[in-house]
Amino acid sequence: MDNQQLREKLLNLKNEAIALIQDAKSEAELERLRVVYLGRKGKINKFVGNIKKGDESQKREFGTLLNDAKIAVQEALESKTKNPPASSEDWIDVTLPAKRPPLGHLHPVTQAIDEITKIFERIGFVRARYPEVDYDYYVFSALNMPANHPARDEWETFFIKSPKHPKYGGLVLTTHTSNGQVREMERVGKPPIRMLNIAKCYRRQQDATHTSMFHQFEILVIDENITIQHLKGTLDYFAREFYGKEISARLRPFHFQFTEPSFEVDFTCTICQGKGQLDTGERCRFCKSGWLEVGGAGMVHPAVLQAGGIDPKMYTGFAFGMGVERAYRLKPGLKLDDIRLLYSNNLEFLEQF
């Protein structure tokens, strides 16, 4: 048998072995094929004797072909072993439910927004949303902060480089959801108004308790004979529904340009339940006093009512605003000491919610 015939016979043997391995039906059959083709007395090794025939160049060539055939058969066996054939004795119950893939869930901020919305909808508030990029007029001027008023400096505003509107001025990223107050008055026309506005806000602040982009919710009520008692009752209702029955609200005199009178709003600390100290007798590090500041509130300023086309002699109203992230951070048991974690994309953190 000449060298050409030997080469063809070896190639056919290699292809035969690979085909049988791929078609094997059990691990036992794979082992049998390994012995038949690669065993000490296997079919491929029987060709070793032919290497001794011929000159040196022919020996090297045939040795290379023999080695390549062994490697190809060995790789076919290893590949089939990684994906072993199903045993004829294996039994599969096709009625068993499939393995469920891992599922995600709503982001904690979205969960908080949904909960806040449902709480206020139960007492008649209607969800609204207004532009996050708005005119200076609605963000400041209509809220009793005319051009160059010092109160504008408190909001750390992002200004948009764009042509100014002849009536409404330039564009800014909204620093609060209060830009929706006058827009809602214009939309409704005549009270009553029960608005819940939830949107993104932007300020040049970034630390453990602030982010440059955050969410805020605001309630606005305008009707006849609305008083501070209605404001306090609404705040107490939200505190109990969102944090627990033991939580209540406290109003402290403050100043906002678009409300009069104005208040800072505190809620009972959810860690020490308003006692200012823990059960161990230690001072509560979270609040230090039994109360936590949560937002601002007040009776709608007459100038703001007039900007919205509402007669302040006939109607009164109140407004309250609070950051969604801050509200969520105060949830009992959460112990979230850095608000930036909510936007970290850290799955180990987010999967806890």
Q: Report pLDDT for 121.
A: 95
From the options 3.30.930.10, 3.40.630.10, 3.40.225.10, 3.50.50.60, give the CATH code of 108-350: 3.30.930.10
C-alpha dihedral sign at 25, 26, 28, 31? positive
Write the pLDDT tens digit of every residue in 2-45: 667 777 777 888 888 888 888 887 888 888 888 888 787 778 77
Say if strands 193-202 and 316-323 run parallel, antiparallel, or are unpaired: unpaired
- Indicate the residue type of 83: N
Q: Report pLDDT for 89.
A: 56
User: Binding site for Mg(2+), residues?
Assistant: 260
The radius of gyration computed from the CA coordinates of the chain, to the nearest angstrom, equals: 38
Q: Report pLDDT for 54.
A: 61
Domain range list for the chain: 3-82, 108-350
Q: Report pLDDT for 53.
A: 62
User: Binding site, residues?
Assistant: 260
Spans in the chain with pLDDT lower than 70: 1-3, 48-55, 58, 84-91, 155, 206-210, 286, 335, 337
Q: Report pLDDT for 350.
A: 79
Write the pLDDT tens digit of every residue in 279-306: 777 877 767 778 888 889 999 999 999 9
> CB burial class (10 A; 0-12, 13-18, 19+) of residue 236?
middle
Residues in Cβ contact with 270 at an 8 Å cutoff, skipping those fewer than 6 apart: 243, 244, 247, 292, 330, 331, 332
Q: Report pLDDT for 279.
A: 74
